[in-house]
Amino acid sequence: MDALFCVPMLSVFLIPVLSSYSTTLNFLFFYMTWSTLVLSHTPLRVEIFGTIAIRVLFYALPSAVMFLFDILTPSAAVVIKAHGSTGLPGGKRRRNIRLREIKVAGWSLLNLTLAIALQWAIETTCVRAFKMRSALKVSLKLPMPYEMVRDLLLGMLGREALTYIIHRFALHANESPLKRWHHFWYHALHAPFPLSGHYDHPVTYLLSNFIPTYLPAVLFRFHMLTYLIYLVIVSIEETFAYSGYTIMPTNFFLIGMARRMDMHVLTYGEGNFGPWGIMDWIFKTAIGDAELIDDEQDDAEERERERRSRTTYAASPKKKPTTPRPAKTTSAQGPAGRRR
C-alpha cells in the first residue's frame, strides 16, 4: 500500500525534472515509433493505413457525428446553422428525413473509400507493375521543418489551383456528361451539410476532389509525414467547410470557407469554385453573402411587384374586357362588387 501512495509523491518531484526534457523525449519517442512503423511494414501499407486512419479520425467520424446531430436533433442543430433549416440534411422538412439524405451520406463515405482504393491502385501499379519508386516518400529520415512547411504550402496552392480549374471549367462551363452529373448529384442539394463534402457522382468526385488533393503530393513527392499532416489539414477543412455551422474551431479561416461553400450551392454554382478562395479572388469569381441578399431582395421585390400588379388589376374599376366573353366580364366585376 505504501508504494501506491509513494507514486504520486514521486511524480511531484519528478515532473519538473522530466518536463525540461519533455520535448527531447517526446521527439525521441516519436522517432522510435516512426522507425518501428517503417521497418516493420511496407511503404504501401504505411501510406494506405496512414491515409485511412487520418480520413476516419479527421473526416468520417466527426462528419458522421455532426450528420447524426443534424438529423436526430434538428431543433438544436438549426440554431447553429448559418442558413437556418435550409442547412439541415432534411431542409425545411426537419424531422422528415428521407432515404435521400441517408443516400447522400452513404455515397459520401463510398466515394471516400473509392478514393483510397484508387490511391492504393496507383501506388501498387507504380511500385509492383512498373518497378518505379513509390509516389510518396516513406523513409526513416524525417523531413526538415522548412521542407515540411514548403511542401505543405505547395500542396495547398496546387490543390487550390487544380480544384478551381477542374470545378469551373470541367464541371460548370461547357455542356458535357461531367457537368450533367455534377449538377444532377451535388447541385441537387439545397445547401451543404455534414458528410456532403465528398458527395458527388463518383467520376466527378474523383476528378474534382481526389485528383486535386493527391496530385500535388505526388508531383512534389511528399514525405509520408508531410502527406499525413497535409491530409489532416484537408480533412479538418472539409469537415467544417461543408457543415453549414456558424460555430467553428477557428472563426477566422474555416468559417469563411464554410460560407463560400454554402454560396456555391445556394447560387447553383455561379462562383466560389476553389476551396480557399484565392483563385476565385484572382479571377473575380468570388461571390459573397451580399449577392445572395441582393438576389433575395430582387426576388422579394419581383414578388412584391407581381402581388401589387395582381391587386391593382383585381381592384381596378371595370376596364375594357380583354375578351368579349360574358364570363370574363362577370369575373372582372366580382372583386369590385365585393369591395363595395
Q: Which of 47, 90, 39, 40 is nearest to 67 (CA)?
A: 90
The burial of 110, by beta-carbon neighbours within 10 Å (0-12 exposed, 13-18 middle, 19 or more buried), is given as middle
Q: Which residue is nearest to Zn ion (CB)?
A: 269
Q: Which is nearer to Zn ion, 87 or 269 (CB)?
A: 269
Of the candidate residues 87, 269, 275, 277, the single one contacting Zn ion (CB under 5 A):
269
Candidates 83-91, 189-197, 263-271, 279-287: pick the segment binding Zn ion (CB under 5 A).
263-271
CB of 19 to Zn ion, least distance (A): 50
Candidates 145-153, 210-218, 268-276, 280-288: pick the segment binding Zn ion (CB under 5 A).
268-276
| Interaction between residue 192 and Zn ion (CB under 5 A) | no
Instruction: Could you list the beta-strand ranges (E) of the chain.
Output: none
- Strand, coil or helix: what is 251? coil
**CB neighbours (10 Å) of residue 276?**
19
**What's the one-letter identity of residue 258?**
A
CB of 248 to Zn ion, least distance (A): 22
- Strand, coil or helix: what is 269? coil
CB of 171 to Zn ion, least distance (A): 6
Backbone torsions φ then ψ of 221, nearest 5 degrees: 40, 70
Output the CA–CA distances (angstroms, integers) from residue 111 to 135, 203, 230, 258, in the order listed. Answer: 21, 9, 19, 21
Q: Which is nearer to Zn ion, 89 or 269 (CB)?
A: 269
CB of 199 to Zn ion, least distance (A): 12
Helices (H), 207-253: 211-219, 224-241
Candidates 14-22, 39-47, 218-226, 267-275: pick the segment binding Zn ion (CB under 5 A).
267-275
CB of 251 to Zn ion, least distance (A): 25
Candidates 138-146, 201-209, 220-228, 265-273: pick the segment binding Zn ion (CB under 5 A).
265-273
Can you tell me which residue has the cell 522530466?
18
CB of 108 to Zn ion, least distance (A): 15
Residue ranges in contact with Zn ion by CB under 5 A: 269
